[in-house]
Amino acid sequence: MRTLPASLVGLSLALLSPALPAAGKAKVPPAPTAADAHAFVEKMNAEYKAQYLAANAAEWVAETYITGDTEMLTARANEAMLKWLSVKIDESRRFDHVADIDPKDRRALDLLKLQTAMPAPKDPAHLTEATNLASKLTAAYGSGKYCKDDKDPASCRTLDQLSEVLATDRDWDHALDAWSGWHHVGRGMLKDYQRFAELLNEGARDLGYDNVGTMWRAGYDMSPAEFAKETDRLWGQVQPLYGQLQCYTRNKLAEKYGERMPKDGTIPAHITGNMWAQDWANLYPLLQPYPGVGNLDVNEHLDAQRKAGLDAQRKAFKGKPTPLDLAALEHDADMKSAVAMVRRSEDFYTSLGFPPLPSSFYDKSMLLRPRDRDALCHASAWPMDLGSTDMRIKMCIKPTEEDQYTIYHEMGHIYYYVAYKDIPPIFQGGANDGFHEAIGDTIRLNITPAYLAQIGLAGKAGSDDKAVLNAQMKLALEKVAFLPFGLLIDKWRWGVFDGSIAPDKYNEGWWQLRRKYQGLSSPVAATPADFDPGAKNHVPTNVPYMRYFLADILQFQFYRSLCDAAGYKGPLSQCSIYGNKEAGAKYWKMLSQGAQQPWQQTLKELTGKEEMDASAIIDYFAPLYAWLQEQNKGKSCGWE
């Protein structure tokens, strides 16, 4: 517990205590009790909601109406909440050693200390410095561009444009140029990030933790050391499957690129179709087991539905439309298409017995890019008012398969918010942070070819072995390829925070982990002056990443249990719980618990097990796993 310097104790007592009798001694304040702790938690919850409302409303406006004014307003609101949180954490420390506190109150006190990933230093100057660096690093990423000629703005490309090259252009040199250009953006962040990490560690120590990594790992209802071992155990379950996928992918890429491939068994990061090599789905045309078999073109069906709606509007229009009329018709068609895509997702959840969303959800959500202002289109879900049904999503929806699946994911967050809205604010969160990310992705696994055909987004579903293997490969390039990346981001940061990765070894440590877990290598010679971790949004913006690794594990575990609850008996990958109220009731019960009990207990109520279990991934991809092993026979697998 942090204490005042001895020279200030008397002054603080004089300021905070009533005047003492002239000849008397200072009265010792009574020791805090369990009843005091309960009263503190009750008051804290009420204040938490008020602070949250102001900060969240400001943030919503700042992201959907970007101006210098809204940025300033949200900065001030967030600063006020951060200061309030710091004060409350300090006040809560007097209950650290009080016996007989109600378990729910003790959990609330523990969760209070973990409400931010950016622990604030107590030193006011250092707090300001940390806040400024956080904004500077975020801005450096958000405004990052690759310019071939710094004097020619026309030569500059954004992350979106560079990512498009990696996604669509299989030319080695074109991809290398785009990849290297974006990763160079991280160089300017190196010194700022080093200082930022120092300040975060200072804030963590002020809260009683060794470093930020220890603090982040403390949020999982087990010791930080136990949690680190748990992540290694889960990785051990899925590593053999990943190893087979990496081997097959590498050998296919070697057929294409020949002698340009390294001899050590690794895959150069720039030829995976993704800027961070975290998702290899863009390589599917090269890697699909049986080209053209079972092709389910969701994009074609969505685009056709949108065009049909636009044609109907044009036919209904009276007179000859002007250019402004045509623009309005286009916008109306886009909005109707977007709403239909969201309604389609809502239909899946309500088919399970979940409640329909209020009309305010559609009135207040941002579903299209605004025509009259700048807005941040990164998809997100928002609980605007803790304890109410004011939930919203923010997206710039297009009629694409990717956006349709993103909506299913974001609606998972929305229904989690709805399910736990009546519990105290401090408990309104996922059982652990991986749960929140896994809810909608669990529903995503239920989007089978048969389901797509049922809702009119595909033709008659094929179920032959070749079609199944193609579908599994497509999903594995998204889900299985991501697993080691989801793990190593925070493995790297844990090393940075505990000092085992020194500042002059930041980039070297990064690539050691990428090689160890992913079997990837840098396509260029990395130097200590480089800062390739800065090329990934979650590093400069300081967002913990282990939640995504856990979500990748949990979603398959949830899915298998829900299919069991629905009485499904066939191959796991062909299960869909659409329309099954029994499975839905079990899922809803889990969601309604929020964070008010240890996640192990919540997990057991759904799955019957208290530990996360990646075996469901192996079950799901069993056909592909066997096929990969057959394909890799006699091939050189593994990496140095």
Distance between CA atoms of 145 and 156, rounded to whole angstroms? Answer: 6
Q: What is the C-alpha separation between 354 and 2, in angstroms, rounded?
A: 47
* DSSP category for residue 366: B
187 is in an annotated binding site: no
* Rounded distance between C-alpha atoms, residue 182 and residue 275, angstroms: 8
Nearest-angstrom CA–CA distance, 551 and 242: 17
- Identify the CA nearest to 545 among candidates 485, 500, 477, 612: 485
640 given a catalytic annotation: no
Q: Which residues contact 213 (CB under 8 A, 6 or more apart)?
A: 224, 490, 493, 494, 495, 496, 497, 498
**392 labeled binding residue:** no
For 394, the 3-state DSSP assignment is strand
- What is the rounded CA–CA span in Å between residue 181 and residue 155? 12
Q: How far apart are CA 541 and CA 274, in angstroms?
A: 20
Number of H helices, E strands in the chain: 25, 6
Which alpha helices (DSSP H) does 317-432 contain, by range? Answer: 323-351, 359-364, 401-419
One-letter amino acid for residue 563 of the chain: C
Measured CA distances, 48 to 94, 427, 593 (Å):
19, 11, 19
220 marked ligand binding residue: yes
Compute φ and ψ for 394, nearest 5 degrees: -125, 115
Give the span between the Cα atoms of 231 and 236, in whole angstroms: 9
Cα→Cα distances 416→394, 440, 590, 593, Å: 16, 9, 9, 9
Contact 110, 98 (CB under 8 A): no
Nearest C-alpha neighbor of 379 from the set 401, 405, 361, 350: 405
Contact (CB, 8 A) for 208 and 170: no
378 given a catalytic annotation: no
Do 628 and 245 contact (CB within 8 A), yes or no?
yes
Q: Which of 538, 582, 605, 610 is catalytic?
A: 538
d(CA 210, CA 216): 11
Is 270 annotated as belonging to a binding site?
no
Among candidate residues 63, 184, 410, 436, the one labeled active-site is 410
d(CA 518, CA 639): 9
Beta strands in 235-390 (DSSP E): 267-268, 380-383
Segment 53-56 long-range contacts (CB within 8 Å, at least 24 positions apart)? 53/384, 53/385, 53/386, 54/80, 54/81, 55/80, 55/81, 56/382, 56/383, 56/384
Q: At what angle do helices 581-592 and 599-607 cross, to 10 degrees?
A: 170
141 annotated to bind ligand: no
Question: Please, are residues 74 and 61 in contact by the beta-carbon 8 Å criterion?
Answer: yes
Question: b/e per residue, 464-498, with b = 16+ CB within 10 A?
Answer: eeebbbbbbbbbbbbbbbbbbbbbbbbbbbbbbbe
Binding-site annotation, residues for Zn(2+): 409, 413, 437
Binding-site annotation, residues for chloride: 220, 547
Binding-site annotation, residues: 220, 409, 413, 437, 547
| Residues that are catalytic | 410, 538
